[in-house]
């Protein structure tokens, strides 16, 4: 059973539309490199499309009715949008979920030190990374520093052409005889991912370079060394996402995983007329480290917000919350591995995803015999097949690599705990979790079409 390349469906005019949608995404990806930046941009776009802050609605004791649009944010890192449908909430919602955190290096809480007249910063990597990919490339610093009085300083250094960048050095090839004998896993070790951030000494006797860096931080950003203790600073690849290939059919960028699903999910919400079933877009944090914490999918945040919406509609009861969740349907979107002709041995060709072949559906994920996976029901898949085919959406089924080659997890199994229908879907990538990942523009466009069709028809 073969799927067709989705580009073949489209004439010149339609391809222009795909390219212009992709350009908006490319700019979003270039500007939003952390979960906080993505959540803030999602709020700005939601408000521009008539969404109101659910907490304002609650505070003013306003009543919500079908056709209303609201959003709720958890700690600036996770966001849920609700577009209230004409059918009762208890009959369930149609939910698009994706995550907005990405693998990166985080600054430690006491990061700054001096070694041999260089100012350095200690990091702790976040999510699954091949550490050797994070050396010898320009890195930017994004995040917040929160001072004791509660004031927040937003940091973004390394993105503008005039900005400095930072980096982790690699060993010169001339002296790498021992290093190159090591296993890939330990060629670069976690504790060696230290950033070089300065080299001009001050007149101080002790740690003159570190002190010079601190005085720059004080002067430019108005914070002191001890403020790092209440900071969250993420080190990410510096620079904009770029068109990829002679034909510009792909995009190379940092954090496609999982913004290439989050972005079309969000845009799908904005393309809807008042839906029958309440439409939801849920963009969550902490997926890359197990969906833990208040802002991860395992948190009660989403369930609480469903309760708030029901309350504001005058329909709240404990059983109403349970029914609303249980009767919901979800596309849990995350990136999939696209077949890569450079690495054919890890893929099983009949069940691999292909760049350009549309939205991916993984019935199951997991590792070592589907362990940890949400195995979607064929009854649900059959309904989705019908919806996608009726709406001329290009889609493919796939697995993440050969059996027992590895595996991965997503947020799908967590939402499935409510007893709702959930399937893993998403966009295929090359270079997953590398500093620069690749996606096909037409795949993201098919995701957008698929998400709209799902919200309207599931
Ligand atoms: Zn992901």
Rounded distance from Cα 118 to ligand 1 centre (Å)? 35
How far does the chain reach from its first CA to its final CA, in angstroms?
Answer: 25
Rounded distance from Cα 195 to ligand 1 centre (Å)? 25
pLDDT at 404: 79
Q: What are the φ and ψ backbone dihedral angles of 368, each rounded to 5 degrees?
A: 50, 60
Rounded distance from Cα 183 to ligand 1 centre (Å)? 26
CA dihedral 293, 296, 299, 304 (to 10 degrees): 130
Rounded distance from Cα 72 to ligand 1 centre (Å)? 22
Rounded distance from Cα 430 to ligand 1 centre (Å)? 13
Rounded distance from Cα 83 to ligand 1 centre (Å)? 25
Rounded distance from Cα 114 to ligand 1 centre (Å)? 35
Determine the Cα–Cα distance for residues 242 and 439; give it in Å rounded to an integer: 11
* pTM listed for this prediction: 0.96
Rounded distance from Cα 20 to ligand 1 centre (Å)? 25
Provide the token pair at 269: 């919400």
Tens place of pLDDT for every residue, the chain, 458 residues?
Answer: 789 999 999 999 999 999 999 999 999 999 999 999 999 999 999 999 999 999 999 999 999 999 999 999 999 999 999 999 999 999 999 999 999 999 999 999 999 999 999 999 999 999 999 999 999 999 999 999 999 999 999 999 999 999 999 999 999 999 999 999 999 999 999 999 999 999 999 999 999 999 999 999 999 999 999 999 999 999 999 999 999 999 999 999 999 999 999 999 999 999 999 999 999 999 999 999 999 999 999 999 999 999 999 999 999 999 999 999 999 999 999 999 999 999 999 999 999 999 999 999 998 887 888 888 888 999 999 999 999 999 999 999 998 888 877 777 678 889 999 999 999 999 999 999 999 999 999 999 999 999 999 999 99
Rounded distance from Cα 282 to ligand 1 centre (Å)? 14
Rounded distance from Cα 389 to ligand 1 centre (Å)? 26
pLDDT at 406: 73
Question: What residues have a C-beta under 5 A from ligand 1, the ion?
Answer: 257-258, 334
Rounded distance from Cα 269 to ligand 1 centre (Å)? 21
Dump pLDDT digits (tens) for 409-428: 678 889 999 999 999 999 99
Rounded distance from Cα 361 to ligand 1 centre (Å)? 14
Determine the Cα–Cα distance for residues 29 and 21; give it in Å rounded to an integer: 12
Which letter, b or e, does each residue of 369-380 get, where b requires 16 or more Cβ atoms within 10 Å of its Cβ? eeeebbbbeeeb
Find all residues with CB under 8 Å of 108, minimum gap 6, and list them.
121, 122, 123, 124
Rounded distance from Cα 334 to ligand 1 centre (Å)? 5
Provide the token pair at 286: 């902490």
Rounded distance from Cα 262 to ligand 1 centre (Å)? 10
Rounded distance from Cα 258 to ligand 1 centre (Å)? 5
Taken in order of first residue, the domains within the chain and their CATH numbers are: 6-102+254-457 (3.40.630.10), 104-237 (2.30.250.10)
Determine the Cα–Cα distance for residues 50 and 43; give it in Å rounded to an integer: 11
Rounded distance from Cα 261 to ligand 1 centre (Å)? 9
Rounded distance from Cα 99 to ligand 1 centre (Å)? 7
Which letter, b or e, does each residue of 350-360 get, where b requires 16 or more Cβ atoms within 10 Å of its Cβ? ebbbbbbbbbb
Determine the Cα–Cα distance for residues 258 and 239; give it in Å rounded to an integer: 18
Rounded distance from Cα 198 to ligand 1 centre (Å)? 34
Dump pLDDT digits (tens) for 228-256: 999 999 999 999 999 999 999 999 999 99
């Amino acid at each position: 059973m073969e799927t067709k390349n989705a580009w073949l469906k489209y004439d010149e005019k339609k391809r222009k539309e795909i390219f212009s949608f992709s350009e908006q995404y490319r700019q979003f990806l270039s500007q939003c490199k952390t979960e906080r930046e993505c959540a803030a941009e999602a709020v700005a776009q939601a408000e521009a499309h008539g969404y109101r802050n659910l907490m304002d609605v609650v505070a003013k004791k306003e009543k919500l009715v079908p056709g209303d649009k609201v959003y709720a944010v958890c700690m600036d890192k996770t966001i849920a949008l609700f577009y209230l449908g004409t059918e009762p909430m208890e009959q369930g919602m149609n939910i698009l979920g994706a995550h907005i955190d990405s693998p990166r290096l985080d600054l430690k809480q006491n990061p700054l030190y001096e070694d041999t007249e260089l100012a350095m910063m200690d990091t702790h990597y976040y999510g699954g990374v091949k550490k050797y990919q994070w050396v010898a490339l320009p890195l930017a610093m994004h995040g917040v520093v929160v001072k004791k009085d509660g004031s927040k300083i937003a940091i973004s250094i390394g993105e503008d052409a005039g900005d400095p960048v930072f980096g982790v050095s690699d060993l010169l090839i001339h002296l790498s005889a021992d290093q190159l004998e090591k296993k890939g896993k330990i060629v670069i070790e976690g504790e060696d991912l230290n950033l070089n951030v300065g080299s001009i000494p001050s007149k101080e006797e002790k740690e003159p370079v570190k002190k010079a860096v601190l005085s720059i931080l004080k002067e430019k950003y108005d914070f002191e060394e001890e403020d790092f203790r209440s900071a969250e600073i993420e080190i990410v690849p510096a620079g904009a996402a770029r068109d990829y290939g002679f034909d510009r059919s792909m995009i190379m960028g940092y954090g496609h995983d999982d913004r290439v699903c989050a972005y079309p999910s969000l845009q799908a919400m904005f393309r809807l007329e008042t839906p029958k079933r309440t439409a939801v877009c849920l963009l969550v944090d902490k997926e890359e480290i197990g969906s833990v914490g208040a802002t991860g999918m395992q948190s009660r945040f989403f369930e609480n917000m469903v309760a708030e919406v029901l309350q504001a509609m005058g329909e709240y009861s404990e059983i109403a919350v349970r029914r609303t969740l249980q009767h919901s349907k979800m596309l849990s979107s995350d990136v999939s591995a696209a077949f890569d002709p450079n690495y054919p041995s890890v893929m099983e060709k009949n069940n691999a995803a292909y760049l350009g072949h549309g939205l991916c559906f993984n019935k199951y994920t997991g590792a070592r015999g589907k362990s940890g996976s949400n195995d979607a029901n064929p009854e649900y898949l059959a309904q989705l097949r019908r919806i996608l085919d009726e709406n001329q959406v290009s889609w493919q089924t796939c697995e993440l690599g050969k059996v027992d080659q590895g595996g991965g997890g997503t947020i799908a199994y967590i939402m499935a705990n409510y007893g709702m229908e959930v399937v893993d879907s998403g966009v295929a990538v090359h270079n997953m979790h590398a500093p620069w990942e690749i996606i096909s523009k037409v795949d993201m466009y098919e995701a957008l079409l698929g998400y709209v069709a799902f919200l309207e028809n599931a």
